[in-house]
Amino acid sequence: MSERTRAHVFVSGTVQGVYYRATTRERADEHGVGGWVRNLDDGRVEAVFEGPADAVESMVEWCRDGSPAATVADVDVTYEDPEGVETFDIRR
């Protein structure tokens, strides 16, 4: 069994209004990753991914491109201790 990890990600660029959150949830579900994603008032998207380390790393890498309509300028990642999150949600 793979070690669990948690990544807290901030994505900047043209990442709101381009289905970034919905596509992130679809990808997280495909990878079996828990967590959440939300838009921030400053135009960034914030996300948390939790699960097997390889799946979480795949999600972090995916964020560098994002949804097809997104233009990602930067991805800032901090790794944290897992909190046992199993499902993935879009937060408002």
Instruction: Tell me which residues are annotated as active site.
Output: 21, 39
Identity of residue 19: Y
Q: Which helix (H) or strand (E) holds 28?
A: helix 20-31
Which of 8, 26, 33, 9 lies closest to 67, judged by CA?
26
Tell me which DSSP letter residue 24 carries.
H
